[in-house]
Structure 1
């Protein structure tokens, strides 16, 4: 029944409560009204899956109280895109069968109740886009009990969580950890490299720093998607498709072993402190579509081999210390739609071959030492 307009049904909760054999109820984006009285008869106790996302439900309604009182068998509960506020209620821990719990895009604040540590069947917990705060270590501690043994996915993006990334080996089944766009800082624990089941890690848009060693990734054989920077260990991550670690404080050189990422499609290292020359081994990343190395301290010439990345759609090398000329073979990048080489120290003429890239719609070569030839146009 998702996306059906039920805004005029002011007793929807009472109707649902009279369906004792109902096992799955999907009311996503139905304009449900907030209900302020709990049904007297608790008949709907067979629900396994309940989706009330995107209905503007609030904490003042009786929906949560109804859940806690009569739906202790729910396995999957989706409450995203509502307006639930305040602290996360302890009542969710009463639903001991819960395996998948999502509060995506609400207004919950504070941390996670200690009682969540006793949710022994919990596999996925999503609290992205809320107002969570406090120390990440404290949040992890409150999930320690039996929940940490079963949890496979923790999603806390776009909150205000502080502290450094603690030891995550207390979550032996963890496959997905999303912490991007928080207030994390400090240097990563090498315990990350012991998390053999980890597949997906997002840590971009924080204030993490330091140089990451091979020890951080030595045992991560299942990685597919990453939000952190490995040094000499790219050869362990050949299945990587997306690497997003922009807007942190990582430094050091981009190693030539980046060429081992032959299947990578998106490489975003923008707005860090990477230095040194661009490795020519980038040419081996034949599947690259999006390459952003802007806002760093990269020096030297742009490798001529970069034109071998013929699938590139977006290339951003802006705000670095790059020198030399733009190769005349730039038109080999026929899929290129956006090219930003601004605010470098490039010299020489702007190659007229740029005008042969038919897809090119965004071009920024400003604040360099190049001169536009009279015959050049787009």
Structure 2
């Protein structure tokens, strides 16, 4: 593809210089095809060919999401490159030092899922124009100068490490090297970081704006050294093993907007932690996440935190406080799993800016009435689940001021009548009212479910009546759980267009013909056990090849085991116990080599036990005849 190819600009992923016709951009990311069931890529495999060297003016090269296995040394000869994306290939081996010859490079992405190695990073020092650099799955344990190279780099602004391994750092080796003047974003996540490097990375640049050390299992105290990073706006230490308390220097970060210490082992009194954040950070902090730590004490006053919009934390004790006095502008309140006592205060209804409210699993009791919710017109997510002594008492004529997307009220007291105010909620994607003491018939209006539905759980109540056969189509493939109720009647066809369908332990009847679709199904989990279904098991399982679990046990079925079950090659669990089946076990089931459980007991099967059960089903754990 040289200058002689005057039509190269018409090729997808190729851009040329309008004057010379030379290729300046080459995008070889695989084409994406979507057949309605899955998204497929068409990656390129093999070696990266040296013919790339013929593209003398190439400045943009994207080879990401392919199957190349080695970064060739000649890549360092493409000296006009300013953009190089080699991410998500199958690269292994040592990163070639020749990449340091790409002195014009601004963007370099080496984020790969396979293990690469780096003996040293001296080549990085020669990329004097580089602004953004990403590493993934790289072993730096022999690269003793990695931190020195980064701190002394003249232009690097954004640096990402993911699934990387680092050696111990000698602080004296950095004594003569100034902090970086350019680095503003540092992400070091899902990696193995030696504790000796932690305090040194906190002061790697005086111009840091964003710092992310999430998912590192880092066992350390948090150094009180944030005075060296006055411009920090976002700090993420999610899911580590950080110990001790929150250092005072964090409270002196006058630009701090988001602070996430969730899922660590921080300790101490909450009042002390909040006091340490009460410097000038109190005027800028918008999002504070303290959840899953070991702080103790009651929820302190956040009155000085005038900008706080999102609050997350647990291990709070005492009565649920009147947050509307000092956090009236809060948009997200996540206090699930705390140790509060008593009722949810009516004053929660004064927090008119709330979008997300989570007070799940905190042993609340008493009532929630219209007074708690009347002013929450912006609310989109409500989670009051797992408060078994909390009752929701809302008038049947109540008109909610909000349209909820996420509703979780499982394991609360909603019954005995069905909550009719849900008729006004027409836009939800998630609804869970399982284990909620409801004994009622669901009226037809409820089943006109939103097309955006992803999750519906009505299980473990005493719902009765039938499910109407509505012409429903979902934009996604939702999961629907109706188990342990008193539903009856046949199954409507729209319930076959799902990812998970659990109708077990009801009184559904009729045939299983709804499973015979014209198009291939995405159904992954099917449990129709303990019902009153009759007739034969339909022989149309080739349209349900994605199933991993099939449970039809304890029904009034009859006939033979259909041959087409052998086309469900990803099947891991097949339960056909007590379904009056006869005949032999079809040989086609030997194709289901992923089977871990096979139960055909309490039937009328005949013939010999096939030898392929022991030969082909190597994953089998439970076999029941």
CA shift for structure 1 position 175: 0.9
Structure 1 40/145 Cα, relative in aligned 2: closer, same or farther at 3 Å? closer
Query: Are residues 1:362 and 2:491 paired?
Result: no
Superposition pairs of residues 100-249 of structure 1, within 5 angstroms: 100-179=234-313, 182-192=314-324, 194-208=326-340, 210-218=342-350, 220-228=351-359, 231-232=369-370, 233-248=372-387
Aligned equivalents of 1:162 and 1:332: distance in 2?
Answer: 53
What's 2:179 paired with?
A: 44
TM-score when normalising by structure 1: 0.82
What's 1:58 paired with?
A: 194
Aligned equivalents of 1:167 and 1:55: distance in 2?
Answer: 36
Structure 1 252/277 Cα, relative in aligned 2: closer, same or farther at 3 Å? same
Query: Are residues 1:305 and 2:445 paired?
Result: yes
CA shift for structure 1 position 249: 5.3
The structure whose Rg is larger is 2
Pick 1 or 2: higher relative contact order, CA cutoff 8 A, min separation 6.
1
Structure 1 254/308 Cα, relative in aligned 2: closer, same or farther at 3 Å? farther
Query: Are residues 1:270 and 2:410 paired?
Result: yes
Aligned equivalents of 1:185 and 1:272: distance in 2?
Answer: 21
CA shift for structure 1 position 98: 2.4
Tell me how many residue pairs correspond in the alignment. 364
Aligned-pair Cα RMSD in Å:
3.1
Structure 1 314/6 Cα, relative in aligned 2: closer, same or farther at 3 Å? closer
CA shift for structure 1 position 57: 1.0
Which whole-Å deviations, capped at 9, do the CAs of 1:53-95 have from their partners, x for residues lacking one?
Answer: 3332131x23423544x63442322222223213222123443
Match of 1:314 among 447, 455, 477: 455
Aligned equivalents of 2:227 and 2:325: distance in 1?
Answer: 31
Q: What SS is found at the alignment partner of 1:260?
A: coil
Aligned equivalents of 2:441 and 2:393: distance in 1?
Answer: 14
1:225–1:240 Cα contact (<8 Å) kept: yes
1:90–1:113 Cα contact (<8 Å) kept: yes
Q: What SS is found at the alignment partner of 1:297?
A: coil
Structure 1 156/299 Cα, relative in aligned 2: closer, same or farther at 3 Å? farther
Structure 1 141/299 Cα, relative in aligned 2: closer, same or farther at 3 Å? farther
What's 1:71 paired with?
A: 205
Q: What SS is found at the alignment partner of 2:492?
A: helix
Aligned equivalents of 2:135 and 2:369: distance in 1?
Answer: 47
What's 2:427 paired with?
A: 287
Which whole-Å deviations, capped at 9, do the CAs of 1:31-72 have from their partners, x for residues lacking one?
Answer: 25234223232233413332233332131x23423544x634
Aligned equivalents of 2:341 and 2:442: distance in 1?
Answer: 26
What's 2:159 paired with?
A: 26
Aligned equivalents of 2:294 and 2:483: distance in 1?
Answer: 33
CA shift for structure 1 position 351: 2.0
1:223–1:237 Cα contact (<8 Å) kept: yes
CA shift for structure 1 position 123: 1.8
CA shift for structure 1 position 200: 1.4
TM-score when normalising by structure 2: 0.52
What's 2:402 paired with?
A: 261
* Structure 1 unaligned residues grouped into runs of 5+: none
